[in-house]
Structure 1
Amino acid sequence: MNIIEVVSTVEKFFSDVLKRPGVIVGILRDQDLWKVQIEVAEEVEYMRKRAQDDLLAMYEVTVNNDLEILAFERKYLRERDSTDIGKT
């Protein structure tokens, strides 16, 4: 298994299962696990109706060496143009 397979697995999971494509912004191998950070647009239609920026969520995803997604957690939520990280 290599980093490209891990990236592909996470992107496919978010696109297929959660119906939200994302952009991988970080990846780290930690012994037998991979920690992947993916940024995903959230509540796009809700925000557009109110003429506001899209919301972006940063998720941390844990993947094992068998390319199974063990966990994913939203770390923060922010407006697309905001530089304030940590808004939930």
Structure 2
Amino acid sequence: MEIKKIIANVTGFFNEFVAPVHKIIAIEEGENNGWKLTVEVIEEKEYMKKYAKDEMIGVYEVYVNAEKEVISYTRRDIRYRGSIN
């Protein structure tokens, strides 16, 4: 299934280069046979533990091309894990 491959590629990319994926909350078909995803990651986990702060969740917008490779990502929001938007 194509979506499983996209999720695996994005998760692998984020685990290696950004931060471990907490959740992928949206996948939409994009332009030129690409995909747009909304990904939540736990930001700076060690820093938050050190200073006894609640974990921070970063919300990223990710674009994947037709070959299912991440071509760009941007953090759109950051919030405390327990907060409700």
Structure 2 gaps of 5+ residues are none
**Residue number in structure 2 paired with 1:82:** 83
Question: Residue 34 of structure 2 aligns to which amino acid in structure 1?
Answer: L
Cα RMSD after superposing both structures: 1.4
> Displacement, 1:21?
1.4
Question: Residue 27 of structure 2 aligns to which amino acid in structure 1?
Answer: I
Task: Report SS of the residue matched to 2:42.
Answer: strand
1:46-85 residue pairs with structure 2 within 5 A?
A: 46-84=47-85
How many equivalent pairs are there?
83
**Residue number in structure 2 paired with 1:27:** 27
Partners of 1:48 and 1:68 in 2: how far apart? 33
> Displacement, 1:65?
0.9
**Residue number in structure 2 paired with 1:38:** 39
Question: Residue 34 of structure 1 aligns to which amino acid in structure 2?
Answer: W
Question: Residue 17 of structure 1 aligns to which amino acid in structure 2?
Answer: F
Residue identity (%): 36
Task: Report SS of the residue matched to 2:12.
Answer: helix
> Displacement, 1:51?
1.2
2:6 aligned with 1:6 = yes
> Displacement, 1:68?
1.9
Task: Report SS of the residue matched to 1:15.
Answer: helix
Question: Residue 20 of structure 2 aligns to which amino acid in structure 1?
Answer: P
> Displacement, 1:12?
0.5
* TM-score for both structures, normalised by structure 2: 0.88
